[in-house]
């Protein structure tokens, strides 16, 4: 008997030892993964130290499926955070009231009475709370309530709040994009967890937002927008629309704040469009820089085309003078010399008749007259930027083409690396890869470095050619003249050789007709004009006069100085520094006379030789030929005249 008891005791010892060993493996050495319906693996691995930011593109949380969105330098703009949904099976609960009380100790916002009612129903599934944090999930799990389960999920978060809010857009409760790049790249973000890298630079975005907000407050404007774009690649480095909102509160943001004025807003471009009038005339050979055009007011029907202030204008002014001092009648004459058909063809080739191709679903189509209504009055008004409404990004794109050698680049919100991987096909076809604008790893600024060189100095613009390089060079000089001697002087930023064009247009009222003394002020600028890299555009909606503007609300007094402030601040951030040492030499190379002389062998347009003068229209055939000499041979120019 004694031997038997010892044998049984040894057996129990061996059995309990085996159980203890198994439990040690299960709980200490090799614990099993929790069931997914219980506590899901919500805690990510601890990241390694990365002071140089080399792992920024690996910003992927294993328990979320929607990809992160970053700026070009790896700063997170949108990220999905792990959360959980709490649900219950009421038929497994022992005491609904006790369960509700315990749950409310962790979730104070829970309605206890409603929860008791729902937990008492004869159902097998009821949701109790959505988007709880991992800490709350663990706390509820520790309560040990039978019948309470968790469903892993994620919540979209925008760490920088208002930064690029209209560009980011938002997602719905099921994590599907409903606006902005979240919607445009919805498929890409849900199928490829690699971070989507945008062309935006949050440093530049912050500066532009700061200066634009200051201008909006100073001039009491009701809205504003600004764009910084690489004229060689089309990469949008910054895009700001005010007022804005916190992207984390998209559902409660007012419509006016969600409205992206840079791509959805339609505004008459005003005199910024004179750049296109000059470009088409020079490119088509209709006009030369030495030709002269009448600045005398034009009467057509019951309307008069005139300038705000004409006492300082000679009756006939050269093309550079037209641009530098922004004469409406003279621009109308240039447009008439081009003619309706060629003017419309030009605007079509420059993309002004179509939706601007950018990765934002909110991009709208411009408002332009139909071809059958493109008569003589339309030709003239469009010539100085009235009668059509364009989104600001279209103006920036057109400006870029005039200074980058004549290539119409495609605006994009993608950095180069992501242009190859993102689903970027839309009605205008796939987007081409874009070069990287700035790479911190190659930021070798120092005493021996080229101060005006950046990581994409050798970039060649890609796209259809719309202007010759010669015409582009001429336009660069003219745009520089606008700032050095014209009405754009307030846009100057010493050492950056800014060029550009002002534009002031009267706003159209809610019931049609123009609102007197209510303007849209805009400036489209480029720097540096000796080697164009970036376009900077600023628009103010309904600015008010101040003591500093002497009662004026025109763009030269509000939008132009804002551009100057932006350029001065963002230049160093873009690895570009003011070159004051060579300023005289560079300005001499960019110089163009305000009144160029007529070369030998040419017959300049001017008094008695203005084919587009509407005062001659009643006495002229529909199409007439005007002969003039060039330095090589005689040619005949055909000019359309619309009745």
**How many Å apart are CA 169 and CA 362, to the nearest integer?**
10
Rounded Cα distance between 112 and 104, Å, is 7
Dihedral-angle region of residue 204 (phi above 0 means left; psi in -120 to 50 means alpha; beta otherwise):
alpha
The token pair at 635 is 């040619």
The region, left, alpha or beta by phi > 0 then psi within -120 to 50, assigned to residue 405 is left
Q: Say how far residue 161 (Cα) sits from the centre of its chain.
A: 17
CB-facing half-sphere around the CA of 359: CA atoms within 13 A: 31
DSSP category for residue 1: -
Exactly one of 271, 318, 493, 556 is catalytic; name it: 271
Cβ burial of 371 (10 Å; 0-12, 13-18, 19+) is exposed
State yes or no: cis peptide before 455, omega within 30 of 0: no
Distance CA 554, CA 310 (A): 15
Rounded Cα distance between 433 and 534, Å, is 18
Cα–Cα distance measured from residue 261 to residue 120, given in angstroms and rounded to the nearest whole number: 52
Enumerate residues 6+ apart whose C-beta is below 8 A from 519. 504, 505, 506, 507, 542, 543, 553, 554
Would you say 525 and 502 are in contact if contact means Cβ atoms under 8 Å apart? no
Contact of 416 with 436, CB cutoff 8 Å:
yes
Instruction: Write down the residue that tokens 């943001």 correspond to.
Output: 253
ω before 280 within 30° of 0 (cis)?
Answer: no
φ, ψ for residue 205 (rounded to 5)? -60, -40
| Active site annotation includes 271 | yes
Strand partners, 70: 76, 197
**CA-wise closest residue to 416 among 235, 174, 587:** 235
| Catalytic positions, written as ranges | 271
């Amino acid at each position: 008997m004694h031997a038997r008891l010892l044998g049984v005791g040894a057996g129990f010892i061996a059995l309990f030892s085996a159980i203890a060993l198994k439990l040690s493996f299960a709980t200490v050495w090799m614990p099993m993964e929790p069931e997914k319906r219980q506590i899901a693996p919500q805690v990510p691995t601890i990241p390694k130290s990365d002071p140089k930011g080399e792992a920024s593109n690996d910003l992927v949380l294993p328990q979320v499926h929607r990809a992160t969105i970053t700026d070009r330098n790896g700063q997170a703009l949108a990220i999905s955070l792990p959360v959980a949904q709490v649900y219950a099976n009421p038929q497994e609960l022992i005491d609904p009231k006790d369960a509700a009380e315990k749950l409310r100790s962790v979730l104070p916002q829970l309605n206890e009475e409603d929860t008791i009612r729902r937990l008492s129903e004869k159902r097998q599934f009821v949701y109790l709370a959505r988007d709880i944090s991992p800490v709350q999930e663990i706390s509820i799990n520790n309560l040990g309530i039978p019948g309470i389960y968790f469903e892993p999920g994620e919540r979209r978060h925008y760490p920088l709040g208002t930064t690029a809010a209209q560009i980011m857009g938002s997602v719905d409760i099921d994590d599907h994009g409903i606006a902005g790049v979240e919607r445009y790249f919805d498929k890409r973000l849900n199928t490829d967890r690699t971070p989507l890298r945008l062309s935006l630079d949050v440093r530049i975005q912050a500066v532009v937002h700061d200066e634009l907000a200051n201008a909006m407050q100073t001039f009491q404007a009701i809205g504003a927008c600004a764009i910084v774009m690489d004229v060689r690649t089309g990469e949008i480095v910054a895009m700001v629309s005010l007022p804005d909102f916190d992207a984390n509160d998209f559902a409660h943001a007012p419509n006016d704040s969600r409205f992206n004025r840079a791509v959805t807003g339609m505004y008459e471009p005003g005199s910024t469009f004179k750049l296109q009038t000059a470009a088409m005339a020079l490119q088509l050979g209709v006009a030369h820089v030495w030709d002269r055009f009448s600045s005398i007011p034009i009467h057509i029907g019951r309307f008069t085309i005139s300038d705000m202030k004409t006492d300082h204008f000679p009756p006939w002014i050269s093309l550079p003078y037209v641009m530098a001092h922004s004469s409406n009648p003279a621009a109308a004459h240039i447009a008439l010399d081009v003619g309706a058909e060629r003017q419309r063809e030009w605007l079509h080739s420059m993309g002004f008749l179509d939706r601007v191709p950018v990765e934002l679903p909110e991009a709208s189509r411009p408002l332009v007259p139909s071809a059958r209504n493109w008569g003589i009055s339309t030709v003239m008004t469009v010539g100085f930027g009235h009668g059509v409404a364009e989104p600001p990004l279209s103006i920036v794109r057109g400006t870029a083409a005039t200074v980058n050698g004549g290539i119409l680049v495609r605006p994009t919100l993608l950095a180069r690396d992501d242009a190859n991987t993102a689903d970027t096909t839309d009605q205008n076809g796939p987007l081409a890869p874009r070069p990287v604008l700035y790479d911190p790893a190659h930021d070798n600024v120092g005493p021996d470095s080229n101060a005006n060189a950046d990581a994409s100095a050798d970039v060649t613009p890609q796209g259809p050619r719309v202007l010759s390089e010669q015409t582009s060079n001429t336009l660069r000089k003219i745009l520089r003249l606008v700032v050095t001697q014209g009405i754009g002087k307030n846009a100057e930023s010493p050492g950056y050789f800014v060029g550009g064009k002002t534009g002031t247009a009267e706003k159209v009222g809610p019931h049609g007709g123009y609102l007197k003394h209510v303007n849209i002020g805009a400036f489209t600028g480029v720097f540096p004009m000796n080697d164009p890299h970036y376009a900077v555009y600023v628009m103010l909606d309904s600015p008010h006069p101040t003591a500093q503007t002497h009662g004026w609300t025109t763009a030269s007094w509000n939008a132009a100085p804002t551009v100057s402030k932006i350029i001065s601040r963002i230049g160093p951030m873009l690895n570009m520094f003011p070159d004051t040492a060579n300023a005289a030499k560079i300005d001499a190379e960019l110089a163009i006379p305000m009144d160029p002389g007529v070369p030998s062998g040419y017959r300049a347009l001017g008094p008695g030789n203005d084919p587009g003068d509407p005062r001659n229209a009643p006495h002229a055939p529909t199409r007439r030929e005007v002969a003039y000499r060039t330095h090589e041979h005689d040619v005949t120019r055909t000019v359309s005249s619309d009745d």
